[in-house]
Chain A
Amino acid sequence: MTLSRGLSRALIHGLLLVFAGLTFYPVLMLVNLSFKDPNAFNSAPMSLSIPPHVENYALAWKFMQDPVWHNIVVGAVATLLSLGMASLTAFVFARFQFPGRDALFALMLIILLVPGTILLVPMYQVIIQLKLQNTLWALILSYAAHQSLMIFVLRTFFAELPQEMFDAARVDGASVLQLFWRIALPLSLPALSAMAIFQVWWIWNDYAWPSLVANSNEARTAVTGLIFFNDFSRPEPGAGMAAAVIAALPMVLLFLVSMRTFIAGLTSGAIKE
């Protein structure tokens, strides 16, 4: 009995090891190739890149620093804007009774059912009409509109806060905004940060939309920069790989400093996508 149990346990670990190896194989290849000497890139792609050709990173960084910076700015500003608006909206929907509330909430939820990419063509028109193409504002404003999921999740969260706390504050004469700012927000920090991280991750991952409306040196994001660099700048191949590592690194760092919140954010985000 114990022998067979130990055997099946070993079998499970063995299978998981195979899956993990296959999963990480491309990532490990990428990191290895990003240190490869240009002469060895095609002749010996599988060998360990020793000594590491770190010049690849200097070359890649020269191109990628602007796209990475743009993406950080777009991610931070759009996330703050959308989180600010969405949390206020969610708060009003969750804690107040007013004419038309349910209809308005349903109107907001319709967006949740519409995959954004399908609006690609008419959203492009909006950006052209606002004369925002190839500016960071095209991305900041369109991403700031991405709120319906946050409103949905945060409304549930705000609705579960105990009413007594709000009542006590109202007796003391607190206004709607004070209730929001002093009670609802501080009590919801975990949910708010999970939503913020999901938004930042989602923005960082988006490719098609920024490649359409922000494909210029002034506005390119990290992943669009990565593809542009490789397909049009024709860099040394190792530098192209280094650019991919650079494009992924900020998300890896974000994951490492906020593992739990990161996973919570992605799981609640999965409801939508």
Chain B
Amino acid sequence: MLGRPESNEMSLGATPQTAAGVGARTRSRLAEVRRHWLLYLLLLPSFAFAAVFYYYPMLSGIYHSFTFWDLKRTLWTGLENYQRMLEDPISVTAWRNMLLILVSQLVIAATAPLLVAALIYNLPAGRAPYWWRMVFVMPIVVPATVTVFIWRWMYGPEGGINEALRLFGLGHLARIWLGDQTTALWAIIFVGFPWVSGLNFLLYLAALQTIPPEVVDAARVDGAGPFRRFFSVELPLIRPQMLLLLILTFVFYVRSFDAPLIMTNGGPGRAGTMVPGLQMYQAVREGFELGYGSAIGTVLFAVTMLLTLVYFTLQRRQRAGG
């Protein structure tokens, strides 16, 4: 690839790429690097920032996951942090909670926003689809923390859910949703109900709207009703985007812990809504157990990387299959 003249690329110096390409082969590689010093200099700021805030932390995190570390002392402890993660009942619960959140969020991402996108897609072209799209895109601007904050009130003793229940004469069902072991984790999953607004919806609708109309018309002529059409024509056609969304959802909820942090701090009890990400946060915030926190971070990192690899493999296979 290097040294091959390409039409849309330039080389430094007064001579354009095509002429320089011939000379480049004869020159030594070092001289070649020296000739491009300006380009490397221009790349330096980005890489300097990346080194301080990404590359170094990445390596430091992996290294310190094998140590006891409180910023002052670093003591090599081998696999102790990882062993602790496997044996600590809190972290076992945390991983189980995360799994339940993950599965629920995947189901949610595959249904609610898709349903609303499909409804809008089935409206006749005109102003209505445009306005509905606007309506469901708008809530994106509300910062996630504000949404979580509202829902914390919703779940409170005199909050929006209990008051709505009392309004419908179902007051006996009212409870402190976030303080109850049986409901707290589900309450966290239900934040943002009916889970329509936002990027998932936007991407589904965009995917549906790029389906060539002839394909849908052909199915209509063949007498396929809207449900048949959805499952046998539209859904298969947007499968790549759906796969991408599910991977993004997975990666997001592996690491996300804002909702438990703000709503319950991992409670009720010792680990009612604890997730690994929050354990990592607390390791820094409360315990200064940075080694243990690094070990959790490293495992989360590995899980994310694994999923990304699976995604790329699936994507390649899908492309190869047609």
Contact = CB atoms under 8 A, between A and B. Distances in A.
Interface of A: 8-9, 12-13, 15-16, 19-20, 22-27, 29-30, 33, 42, 45-46, 85-86, 88-89, 91-93, 95-102, 104, 107-108, 111, 113-115, 117-126, 128, 141-142, 144-145, 147-148, 151, 159, 163, 166-167, 170, 176-177, 204-205, 207-208, 211-212, 222-224, 226-227, 230, 241, 244, 247-248, 251-252, 254-255, 262-263, 266-267, 270, 273
Q: Is the interface of B mostly helix, strand, loop or mixed?
A: helix
Contacts of A99: 2, 29, 32-33, 36
Ranked nearest first, the 7 interchain pairs of A and B with the lowest CB-CB distance are A122-B57, A145-B53, A223-B145, A145-B49, A122-B61, A98-B36, A89-B46
A166 B297 contact: no
A121 B284 contact: yes
Interface in B91-131: 116, 119-120, 122-124, 128
B211 interface: no
B12 A255 contact: no
Contact of B8 (A95, A248, A266, A267): A95
B9 A122 contact: no
Contacts of B71: 125, 128
B26 interface: no
B73 to A, nearest CB: 13
Contact of B132 (A16, A22, A128): A16
Interface string B43-55: 1011101101110
B290 to A, nearest CB: 5
Nearest to A93: B43
Contacts of B1: 102
A211 B262 CA distance: 11
B224 interface: no
A19 B47 CA distance: 46
B281 A120 contact: yes
A125 to B, nearest CB: 6
Contacts of B8: 95, 159, 163
B308 interface: yes
Contacts of A97: 2-3, 5-6, 9-11, 17
B246 interface: no
A90 B139 CA distance: 32
B123 A9 contact: yes
B302 to A, nearest CB: 10
A115 B251 contact: yes
Given A98-B11, A223-B145, A263-B202, A176 B49 contact: no
B141 A255 contact: yes
A97 B9 CA distance: 6
